[in-house]
């Protein structure tokens, strides 16, 4: 399986964010680039949340995603959020424990978790989503310290195996932890 | 603005005692044995006379059933119209004029018109329905508008089934505004329902009792019935709030840890 992105163009008002962007995603990759270069817009187009002005995307299949925001249901526990798209609760609890969740934190509603805990829950929701062929992970390490980032990166490498994955990050060290090929995006030149 | 700290029970009791004293002083000042203003004691005595009688409870049952039937119907219709209005703009446009008209119309005008269409016995059903409907509709429509768009996007990307979207995203989004509108509407439906009964005078109703007390100049009875209406409205509002809180916990899968 691979995702074929061909000649994508996207403009917001007078500002062109993507111009004739082409990429083939086969397996995992890290997407890096300066702020405003269109990384998040590209992910939103792949998710079907934005319509490109021109170009095409094929082969994305069923998607699981980490958004820029955590987007957890605040009244549910981390495990409930992770299993919202389906999947095993036992696996969710096991992975949450592996990423540092204590027993008491497993019983808390998402609204009462710290930013880093919510981020880990949002990440596991994507990684454990049953049937997802494509993973789109937008800054999944936000709010995590170096130790947790390394643990999360290891979980991503293990659980994303065999799936087309686009991981957006500003964190070069985290990208290095993954050991995945890196694609660098450049902002569209205004001239 | 800073949130006002919650009053302590003794502070509430003190405020209550102060106003009871003002009431007593005013009633004594006006004199005439409570003809113009019954004292708190006269009011309680009038209530104590009524309480053990079957007629009193019959009136309570008669009015409560009809007013609550109107309220229940308005909740069902308000939910349906609010959801339809959020989905289709033409529904919003279509129902905006009648709802605006109902909001603007005085209760008395509406009651007199309604008396041409329904029997006086069922008047309070129609009046409480029509006065509660716009409030519930606005609450549901507001709740739908307040529902977290980012969670809805997440649900679309993860292809969550409709039942899960309703239970975990739409319901928690709509509930706060819906609850507020239900609690406010519960008070309103009593006011409008009893006002309708005072004009329509259906037999065995609270409104009829209030009117009779007024024309026979038994002011303590007027105060006693008013107290009953206020207490019923407050008790039912509190019961509605508690029931809605429980329903939210059960329906939205809320964790209480």
User: What one-character DSSP code corresponds to residue A77?
Assistant: B
Mutate to test the interface with A, among B151, B158, B167 (most CBs of A within 10 A): B158
Smallest CA–CA distance from A78 into chain B, residue: B255
- Residue A75 counted as domain residue: yes
**A121 in helix, strand or coil?**
helix
- Residue A60 counted as domain residue: yes
- Residue A133 counted as domain residue: yes
> Per-residue b/e over A62-91, b at no fewer than 16 CB within 10 Å?
ebbbbbebbbbbbbbbbbbbbbbbebeeeb
- Residue A191 counted as domain residue: no
- Residue A189 counted as domain residue: no
| B34 closest CA partner among B201, B234, B206, B221 | B221
Write the CB contacts of B136 (distance below 8 Å, at least 6 apart in sequence). B74, B75, B77, B78, B79, B82, B178, B181, B182, B185
Output the domain CATH number for residue A148: 3.40.50.300
Q: In what order do the strands lie in the sheet with A63-66?
A: A63-66, A134-138, A164-168, A28-32, A182-184
| Domain extent at residue A10 | 3-184
Q: Tens-of-pLDDT digits for all 257 residues of chain B?
A: 556 777 888 988 999 999 999 998 898 888 777 778 888 999 999 999 999 999 999 999 999 999 999 999 999 999 999 999 988 999 999 999 999 998 888 888 888 888 888 888 889 999 999 999 999 999 999 999 989 999 999 999 999 999 999 999 999 999 989 999 999 999 889 889 999 999 988 999 999 999 998 888 888 999 999 999 999 999 998 998 899 888 888 887 777 66
**A134 in helix, strand or coil?**
strand
Q: Given an 8 Å threshold on Cβ–Cβ distance, is A62 in contact with B151?
A: no
Q: What interface predicted TM-score (ipTM) does this complex get?
A: 0.94
Q: Phi and psi (nearest 5°) for A139?
A: 50, 60
CA distance B250 to chain A (A): 11
Q: Which residues of B touch A129 (CB under 8 A)?
A: 158
| Domain extent at residue B76 | 39-251
- Residue A125 counted as domain residue: yes
Count of domains for chain B = 1
Count of domains for chain A = 1
| A67 closest CA partner among B167, B153, B166, B165 | B153
- Residue A143 counted as domain residue: yes
- Residue B90 counted as domain residue: yes
Q: Phi and psi (nearest 5°) for A16?
A: -85, 125
Write the CB contacts of A41 (distance below 8 Å, at least 6 apart in sequence). A10, A17, A18, A50
Q: Of A99-113, A143-157, B19-33, B80-94, which range is least confident? A: B19-33
Quick one: average pLDDT of A110-134?
95
Output the domain CATH number for residue B145: 1.10.3720.10
- Residue A105 counted as domain residue: yes
């Amino acid at each position: 399986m691979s995702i074929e992105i061909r000649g994508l163009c996207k403009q917001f008002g007078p500002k062109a964010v993507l111009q004739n962007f082409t990429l083939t995603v086969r397996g995992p990759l890290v997407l890096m680039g300066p702020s405003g270069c269109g990384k998040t817009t590209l992910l939103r187009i792949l998710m079907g949340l934005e319509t490109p002005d021109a170009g095409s995307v094929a082969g994305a299949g069923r998607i699981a995603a980490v958004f820029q925001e955590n987007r957890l249901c605040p009244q549910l526990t981390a495990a409930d959020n992770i299993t919202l798209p389906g999947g095993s609760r036992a696996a969710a609890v096991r992975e949450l424990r592996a990423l540092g969740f204590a027993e008491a934190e497993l019983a808390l509603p998402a609204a009462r978790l710290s930013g880093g805990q919510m981020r880990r829950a949002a990440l596991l929701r994507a990684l454990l989503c049953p049937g997802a062929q494509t993973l789109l992970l937008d800054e999944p390490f936000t709010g995590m310290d170096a130790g947790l980032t390394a643990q999360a990166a290891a979980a991503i490498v293990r659980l994303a195996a065999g799936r087309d994955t686009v991981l957006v990050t500003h964190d070069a060290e985290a990208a290095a932890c993954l050991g995945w090929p890196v694609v660098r995006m450049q902002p569209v030149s205004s001239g | 603005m800073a949130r006002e700290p919650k009053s302590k029970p003794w502070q509430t009791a003190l405020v209550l005692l102060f106003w009871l004293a003002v009431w007593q002083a005013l009633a004594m000042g006006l004199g005439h044995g409570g003809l113009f203003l019954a004292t708190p004691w006269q009011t309680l005595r009038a209530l104590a006379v009524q309480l053990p009688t079957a007629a009193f409870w019959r009136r309570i049952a008669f009015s409560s059933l009809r007013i609550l039937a109107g309220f229940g119907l308005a909740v069902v219709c308000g939910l349906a119209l609010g959801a339809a209005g959020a989905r289709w703009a033409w529904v919003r446009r279509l129902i905006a004029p009648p709802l605006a008209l109902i909001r603007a119309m005085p209760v008395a005008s509406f009651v007199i018109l309604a008396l041409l269409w329904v029997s006086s016995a069922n008047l309070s059903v129609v009046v409480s329905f029509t006065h509660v409907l716009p409030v519930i509709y606005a609450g549901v429509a507001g709740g739908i508008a307040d529902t977290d768009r980012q969670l809805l996007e997440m649900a679309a990307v993860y292809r969550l089934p409709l039942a899960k979207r309703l239970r975990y995203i739409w319901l928690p989004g709509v509930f706060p505004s819906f609850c507020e509108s239900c609690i406010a509407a519960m008070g309103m439906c009593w006011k409008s329902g009893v006002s309708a009964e005072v004009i329509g005078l259906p037999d065995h109703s609270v409104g009829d009792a209030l009117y009779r007390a007024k024309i026979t100049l038994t002011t303590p009875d007027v105060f006693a019935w008013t107290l009953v209406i206020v207490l019923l409205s407050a008790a039912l509002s509190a019961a509605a709030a508690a029931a809605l809180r429980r329903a939210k916990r059960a329906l939205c899968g809320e964790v209480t840890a």
